[in-house]
């Protein structure tokens, strides 16, 4: 089987499944590049090249996994975020483009030329903490997560991008692991992409999200606000005066977040590319 034949066959199989139709060709290309160790140039420039039997078998296995709605990112083990190639696994939420708005907003508000102490709550793959560490070379970060497995992924990604020496990784439920003396006015910024999907919305999620990504990184009670209600008071104590709180949020949660942040200063919201409020920013 040639590269072109393999792509055409796999694309048609994926496109037959309605949830995968719009990404069928892209998914097939990514999975073939991974399975056959091909560059994109090799994929495009040599369509008549024959796949080795082991390559064809690996590709078929990857397509079978995708047909079961497993995310491409888990199959190939990587996801690009803010210009960084990150390792991902089923232990972590797959970094989304929407979260890049959170990173961009924080980078636009923090000074780049002096030391900073920043906390990333719910670090997952480490995407946010690592992106901030790369672009804020004087910053020291603390990455918190409830999952030890997720922290191991985040730490490996930090080493890969040579910022691990500036990121402390802590197994913690929000800021709970910090000693009382550490929780008082110790951070210049607290950043989080917390779980915010209401449990009632689970059935409406795409199968690749609902059935494969970690539930603890997705759901936050009946209304999706459970983590915000706990995190915002903790963050208020842990931030220095004037410190920045930056939170990613879900569709339709703007008014609720505005209420929860009613006592904060300089509250504003940043929309994503679809015009949906995606980031809440406030100062202690």
- Break the chain into its structural domains and give their ranges: 3-68, 88-283
At 189, which helix (H) or strand (E)? strand 187-192
Question: Whole-prediction pTM value?
Answer: 0.94
**pLDDT (tens digit per residue) in 38-86:** 999 999 998 999 999 999 999 999 999 999 999 999 999 999 999 999 9
Tens digit of pLDDT for each residue in 193-216? 999 999 999 999 999 999 999 999
Q: In angstroms, rounded to a whole number, what is the distance separating the alpha carbons of residues 242 and 264?
A: 10
Query: Hey, is 172 helix, strand or coil?
Result: coil
Question: For the structural domain made of 88-283, what CATH number should be given?
Answer: 3.40.50.150
Q: How far apart are CA 267 and CA 236, in angstroms?
A: 14
* Token pair listed for 42: 């090799």
> What is the pLDDT at residue 184?
73
So what's the pLDDT on residue 181?
A: 56
Cα 192 to Cα 110: distance, rounded to the nearest angstrom: 15
Percent residues over pLDDT 90 in the chain:
95
Residues of the chain with pLDDT under 50: none
């Amino acid at each position: 089987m040639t590269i072109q034949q393999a792509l055409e066959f796999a694309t048609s199989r994926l496109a037959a499944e309605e949830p995968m139709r719009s990404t069928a060709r892209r998914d097939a290309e990514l999975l073939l590049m991974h399975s056959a160790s091909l560059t994109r140039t090799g994929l495009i420039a040599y369509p008549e090249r024959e796949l080795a039997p082991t390559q064809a078998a690996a590709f078929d296995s990857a397509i079978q996994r995708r047909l079961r709605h497993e995310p491409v990112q888990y199959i190939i083990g990587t996801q690009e975020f803010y210009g960084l190639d990150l390792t991902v696994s089923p232990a972590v939420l797959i970094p989304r483009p929407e979260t890049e708005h959170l990173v961009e907003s924080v980078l636009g508000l923090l000074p780049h030329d002096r030391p900073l102490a920043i906390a990333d709550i719910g670090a997952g793959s480490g995407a946010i903490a690592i992106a901030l560490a790369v672009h804020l070379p004087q910053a020291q970060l603390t990455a918190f997560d409830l999952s030890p497995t997720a922290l191991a992924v985040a730490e490996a990604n930090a080493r890969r991008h040579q910022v691990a020496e500036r990121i402390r990784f802590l197994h913690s439920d929000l800021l709970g692991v910090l000693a009382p003396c550490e929780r008082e006015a110790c951070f210049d910024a607290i950043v989080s992409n917390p779980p915010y999907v209401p449990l009632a919305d689970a059935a409406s999620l795409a199968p690749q999200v609902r059935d494969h990504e970690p539930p603890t990184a997705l759901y936050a009670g009946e209304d999706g606000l459970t983590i915000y209600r706990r995190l915002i008071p903790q963050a208020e104590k842990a931030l220095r005066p004037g410190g920045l709180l930056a939170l990613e949020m879900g569709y339709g949660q703007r008014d609720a977040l505005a209420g929860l942040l009613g006592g904060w200063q300089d509250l504003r919201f940043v929309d994503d590319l679809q015009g949906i409020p995606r980031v809440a920013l406030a100062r202690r």
